[in-house]
């Protein structure tokens, strides 16, 4: 059995801190000779809530996103991980012009500004930083579907959007509105950044349409023009399998299942921006399509669907990323593990696991040579428990862990 290395958190000066971590085999560099399970370690332990998205700034500093399932009117949604690896700081910083919530503490919405809610975040599940230092935040604007205030009504001005935040100047770069490609059941989840196509690049999002996954789709957005297209809506490659989400016994709770339909979720783009890989969370197949086909406005959805390739078999998974050798890494829900689909065999296998890795969600490559993922504990939340177990009680509890491990090859930082 592999021992998971836990990071020690001393309150000493930097040299003592480094020395202690080195003695515990938990330093920033880790053991470069080990990959996979042998390199897995608990990197951080937080108290606020489970981690959904995770990426890095160009400096290598981790940016983490607290899962909106835990959302309250005053929840911090996007933050930087502090050096103690136990706490976080809201990002962008308070006073910078972008608020962490569109609500007052009582749950009511703040007044719109110029008829819009571009100054705040409402429901964040995905973000990535690009090579130019722009942090792209995907705000799905879904908080009204959660009981955060009695009688709360969704303001007409609240729209799904991308927020482009310049991490170098600490200023807003651009807002890309997604209203034209958003339906009532949309839940824009993760996305991939393609810097190659378009004058400023292209963003490709997975709309998983939770609970209405027959209406899942891919959304392609041109950064320069802000123009978006909703593609493959309801296509067999993006909708959910009818089998329920199942999870193993964990944290003293029995194994259970919930028939929640979640469509296309995991999404990743290779280093050459040639192939886009994607898969429904509720699905046993991994697919890929050429970016040139996806961006071809002359193709109908039926023609586009015909060009999708079945790439490999897989378990139900949430997060997805890829290394420079085209090995895919999948956060497998319900099984406490992250798996790999090697490019040479295309055969899924377990890569890292830990009993406390409950619902690993987002996964990202960092310039320090590690991949990072947070254990979101979604299965333990009241939402899941009330739909799958007799007790119906939430069992999620701190610490909420962030793990890291060495992949088979390097990746694109922030992806």
Q: 18 CB contacts (<8 Å, ≥6 apart)?
A: 27
Please give the Cα distance from 208 to 87 (Å, whole number).
30
Please give the Cα distance from 196 to 176 (Å, whole number).
18
Low-confidence ranges of the chain (pLDDT < 70): 1-30, 147-152, 251
Question: Do residues 24 and 5 lie in contact, with contact meaning Cβ atoms separated by under 8 Å?
Answer: yes
- The pLDDT score that the predictor gives to residue 147 is 52
Please give the Cα distance from 349 to 253 (Å, whole number).
26
How do beta strands 41-46 and 5-6 pair?
parallel
- The pLDDT score that the predictor gives to residue 395 is 87
- The pLDDT score that the predictor gives to residue 319 is 96
Judged by phi (left if over 0) then psi (alpha if -120 to 50, else beta), residue 162 lies in: beta
Question: Do residues 68 and 124 lie in contact, with contact meaning Cβ atoms separated by under 8 Å?
Answer: yes
Please give the Cα distance from 120 to 400 (Å, whole number).
25
DSSP helix/strand/coil, 41: strand
- The pLDDT score that the predictor gives to residue 270 is 97
Structure tokens at 367: 């310039």
Please give the Cα distance from 97 to 111 (Å, whole number).
15
Question: Do residues 92 and 76 lie in contact, with contact meaning Cβ atoms separated by under 8 Å?
Answer: no
Q: Is the peptide bond before 92 cis (omega within 30 degrees of 0)?
A: yes
Structure tokens at 135: 């942090």
**Burial of residue 242 (number of CB atoms within 10 Å: 0-12, 13-18, 19+):** exposed
CATH number of 47-405: 2.120.10.30
Beta strands across the sheet bearing 217-222: 188-194, 202-207, 217-222, 228-231
- The pLDDT score that the predictor gives to residue 16 is 34
Beta strands across the sheet bearing 328-332: 317-322, 328-332, 337-341, 349-353
- The pLDDT score that the predictor gives to residue 21 is 34
- The pLDDT score that the predictor gives to residue 4 is 52
pLDDT tens-digit series, residues 36-59:
999 999 999 999 999 999 999 888
């Amino acid at each position: 059995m592999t021992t998971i290395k836990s990071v020690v958190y001393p309150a000493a000066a930097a040299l003592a801190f480094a020395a202690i971590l080195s003695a515990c085999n938990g330093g920033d560099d880790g053991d470069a000779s080990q990959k996979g399970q042998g390199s897995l370690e608990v990197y951080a332990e937080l108290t606020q809530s489970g981690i959904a998205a995770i990426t890095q700034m160009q400096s290598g500093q981790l940016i983490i996103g607290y899962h909106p399932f835990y959302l309250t009117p005053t929840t911090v949604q996007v933050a930087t991980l502090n050096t103690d690896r136990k706490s976080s700081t809201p990002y962008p910083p308070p006073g910078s012009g972008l608020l962490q919530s569109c609500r007052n503490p009582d749950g009511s919405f703040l007044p719109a500004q110029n008829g819009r809610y571009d100054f705040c975040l409402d429901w964040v599940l995905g973000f990535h930083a690009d090579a130019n230092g722009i942090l792209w935040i995907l705000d799905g604007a879904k908080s009204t579907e959660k009981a955060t205030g009695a009688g709360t009504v969704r303001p007409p001005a609240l729209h799904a959007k991308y927020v482009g935040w310049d991490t170098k100047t600490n200023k807003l770069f651009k807002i890309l509105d997604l209203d034209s490609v958003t339906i009532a059941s949309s839940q824009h989840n993760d996305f991939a950044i393609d810097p190659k196509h378009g004058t400023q690049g292209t963003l490709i999002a997975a709309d998983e349409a939770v609970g209405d996954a027959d209406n899942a789709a891919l959304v392609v957005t041109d950064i320069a023009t802000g123009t978006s297209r909703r593609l493959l809506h309801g296509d067999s490659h993006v909708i959910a399998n009818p089998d329920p989400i199942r999870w193993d016994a964990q944290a003293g709770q029995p194994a259970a299942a919930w028939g929640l339909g979640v469509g296309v979720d995991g999404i990743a783009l290779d280093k050459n921006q040639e192939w886009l890989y994607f898969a429904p969370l509720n699905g046993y197949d991994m697919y890929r399509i050429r970016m040139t086909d996806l961006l071809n406005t002359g193709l109908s959805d039926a023609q586009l669907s015909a060009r999708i390739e079945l790439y490999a078999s897989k378990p139900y998974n949430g997060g997805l990323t890829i290394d420079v050798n085209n090995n895919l890494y999948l956060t497998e829900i319900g099984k406490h593990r992250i798996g790999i689909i090697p490019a040479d065999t295309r055969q899924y296998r377990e890569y890292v696991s830990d009993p406390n890795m409950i619902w690993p969600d987002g996964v990202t490559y960092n310039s320090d040579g590690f991949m990072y993922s947070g254990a979101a504990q979604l299965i333990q939340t009241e939402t899941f428990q009330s739909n799958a177990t007799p007790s119906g009680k939430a069992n999620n509890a701190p610490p909420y862990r962030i793990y890291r491990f060495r992949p088979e090859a390097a990746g694109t930082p922030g992806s």
